[in-house]
Every structure is written in C-alpha cells, then in structure tokens.
Amino acid sequence: GAVVSQHPSRVICKSGTSVKIECRSLDFQATTMFWYRQFPKQSLMLMATSNEGSKATYEQGVEKDKFLINHASLTLSTLTVTSAHPEDSSFYICSAERTSGTDEQFFGPGTRLTVL
C-alpha cells in the first residue's frame, strides 16, 4: 500500500509553454500533498504544500502565479508550470500524506522537466 504515481515521468517542452504534472495517491486518501524540486546533486526543496479543497501554501521564494497547484480531490494534486523557461528545468517530485496515519510521507517517482 501507500503508492504514489506521477505523470508524465519525463517531459520536454519549448520555452514559453505550460506543463501540467499530476500526482496521484493510488491506494489511500491524502488530504495533504507536497511538491518538491530537486536540482542535480542537490537535496529536495519544498515548493508548496497542497491541501484538498483549499489554496496551496507556497514556500518563500516560490512564485505562486508561475507554479499553479490544484488539489481537487483526496487522491489528485496537479502542478502546472506556466510559461516555462530553461531555468525551470528540474526534477519535480510530489509526496502524499495519509489522511489518517503516522504523518509519514510517500513519494512519487518524479517528473523530469526539460525546457528548451
């Protein structure tokens, strides 16, 4: 149990386009989901916390208008990178926390975004 999926696993897009990444909890309900970004040889940096039915909470320095988050159901959160630029190229990973449980976070397999 506690499987989290992400789609797509890899995406290449042109500068200026928008890209949507989906994060799904497959076998549990997640009131809270988290979006992280990881640059090569660096650790994960939290971008935002996504709560079902309410606005996401963004970390300092993360532009909410550029990284749109929607958590429409207890099993799905989406991250849309709007008007992507080459500096947005990174590995994006989501995690989900069970609605009831031990506060353990379960991570998705990640999405590799490359902006040309």
Contacting positions for other proteins (CB under 8 A): 4, 6, 34, 42-46, 49, 59, 91, 93, 95, 102-110, 112
Residue closer to other proteins by CB (options 16, 109) is: 109
Q: Do residues 94 and 76 touch, judged by C-beta distance below 8 A?
A: no
Q: What 3-state class would DSSP assign to 45?
A: strand
**The two three-digit tokens of residue 32, written as one number:** 């809270």
State the minimum distance, in angstroms, from the CB of residue 56 to other proteins: 13
d(CA 26, CA 3): 6
DSSP string, 49-92: EEETTS--EEPTT--TTTEEEEEEETTEEEEEE-S--GGG-EEE
Q: Is the Cα torsion angle 90, 107, 36, 28 positive or negative in sign?
A: positive
Residue closer to other proteins by CB (options 34, 67) is: 34
State the minimum distance, in angstroms, from the CB of residue 16 to other proteins: 26
State the minimum distance, in angstroms, from the CB of residue 107 to other proteins: 4
Residue closer to other proteins by CB (options 62, 82) is: 62
State the minimum distance, in angstroms, from the CB of residue 18 to other proteins: 23
Residue closer to other proteins by CB (options 65, 104) is: 104
